[in-house]
Amino acid sequence: MSNRIEISPTTRHEGHAKLILEVDDEGIVSKAYYLNTTPVRGFETMLKGKPAEFAPIAVMRICGICQTTHGIASCEAIENAIDCEVPEDGLLLRELVGIGNRLHSHPLHHLLTVDDFLKPDETELRIELIKLIQRMRKVGQLIVDIVGGEGIHPPNIVIGGMRTNITERAKSKIYYALRQYEKDANELYEKYTWLIERFLDEIGIPDLGAHEYPYIASHTTYGDRYAINWNDVTEIPAQRYYDDEEAKHTTTVQIPLYGGVPAEGGPRARMVRFGSFREGGSAMDINIARAQENLGATYRAFEILDELDLNGKTRAEVVYKDGFGIGVHEAPRATNTHMAEVGKDGRIKSYRIIAASTWNFPIVEKAIEGYPQQYAEVIMRAYDI
């Protein structure tokens, strides 16, 4: 006999969602439905017929945390459609502003998940970690402010590249801020890893949230449309994917599949595909991978500052023609994809978005199934949706 449990809304993550769990008499989840409850806002329809320049401005409003990655992916899609080649320094600045977004977003999710692993009486450690995380977030926001021109909806991200370069003074300011971030990221990684290892040891489930599904990722810190086989990418309506009536009519997103099955995107996926991170372990490994990515992104930011020509050209001339293009950016959460069809009049003919978070909704369901229901939200939170 199974019991049906509904957790609505799910807590301590950036989006809006609910969990429906079918639980057996031993408290083990036999079936999980993780459903996006964010209202449909129609960005893809909104853009049809609009000037292409409006697309990155509009899509930055999709998410208050991921505005940078949506802007970058949108520009990349339109540039790919019209064969616009962005200057090298423009690409470096784009990568840097995307890294700034990651250096802000990842610590924010550490802040939301840390209470899963702290004990109620560890007040001093909680305060210490909060201060550490907030220092790190300020650095990420500083980079987006400087390179992007504004922290919320960075206007320097434009079709053709980046609107302006940075100054020597700005470069120095970013450099010294990154030095502090590197120290803080190392400390956070050590403490966070210890907390997670202690948690798994105490609950006696070292493989909590493990699954056997593939990973999807295109790059470590930017995005590469050629790293993904687009013939294997499909999106299907929830009504076709789910066998549960409530699930069919509750979720507000389509279900993306890779090779016909769910695929995990995000920190662990990137580190498995492009590094030596272990695959197939506990979902808590995603939290550790996220902490490691803080360091990897910091090191790449240092490289960019060394490679960047402060007097270099950052924006190409834009000439419109009929075409279709794909833009890919590795958002903090997973692979973010925009697809744009553009006309020679410079207007959008059609537009499609596979937002990063949507990749992990079906994976969260698979990760929860087979484990005690009291850990369902802990597993869900590891995915930063």
Q: Specify the DSSP element, H or E, that contains 98.
A: helix 88-113
Q: What is the pLDDT of residue 14?
A: 83
Q: What letter would DSSP give residue 38?
A: P
- The residue assigned the tokens 């926001």 is 141
Which of 67, 76, 94, 100 is closest to 297 using CA atoms? 100
Q: What is the pTM of this model?
A: 0.96
The answer to whether the CB of 348 falls within 8 A of the CB of 48 is yes
**Coil, strand or helix: which one is 21?**
strand
Q: What is the pLDDT of residue 1?
A: 61
Q: What is the pLDDT of residue 6?
A: 97
Report how far apart, in Å, the C-alpha atoms of 281 and of each of 21, 146, 191, 211, 382 are.
22, 38, 20, 8, 13
What string of pLDDT tens digits covers the 385 residues of the chain?
689 999 999 999 988 999 999 999 999 999 999 999 988 889 999 999 999 999 999 999 998 888 999 999 999 999 999 999 999 999 999 999 999 999 999 999 999 999 999 999 999 999 999 999 999 999 999 999 999 999 889 999 999 999 999 999 999 999 999 999 999 999 999 999 999 999 999 999 999 999 999 999 999 999 999 999 999 999 999 999 999 999 999 999 999 999 999 999 999 999 999 999 998 999 999 999 999 999 999 999 999 999 999 999 999 999 999 999 999 999 999 999 999 999 999 999 999 999 999 999 999 999 999 999 999 999 999 999 8
The answer to whether the CB of 117 falls within 8 A of the CB of 95 is no
* Residue ranges per structural domain of the chain: 3-382
The answer to whether the CB of 104 falls within 8 A of the CB of 156 is no
Q: What is the pLDDT of residue 269?
A: 98
Distance CA(10)–CA(31), nearest Å, equals: 17
What's the N-to-C CA distance of the chain in angstroms?
Answer: 31
Which of 23, 22, 21, 20 is closest to 37 using CA atoms? 20
Distance of CA 380 to the CA centre of its chain: 14
Q: Exposure of 57 by Cβ count < 10 A (0-12 exposed, 13-18 middle, 19+ buried)?
A: middle
Q: What is the pLDDT of residue 301?
A: 98
- Classify domain 3-382 at the CATH topology level: Cytochrome-c3 Hydrogenase; chain B (1.10.645)
Q: What is the pLDDT of residue 368?
A: 98
Q: What is the pLDDT of residue 63?
A: 86
Q: Exposure of 138 by Cβ count < 10 A (0-12 exposed, 13-18 middle, 19+ buried)?
A: middle
| Per-residue exposure over 226-251, b if at least 16 CB sit within 10 Å of its own CB, e if not | eebeeeebeeeebeebbeeeebbebb
Which of 96, 104, 296, 290 is closest to 182 using CA atoms? 296
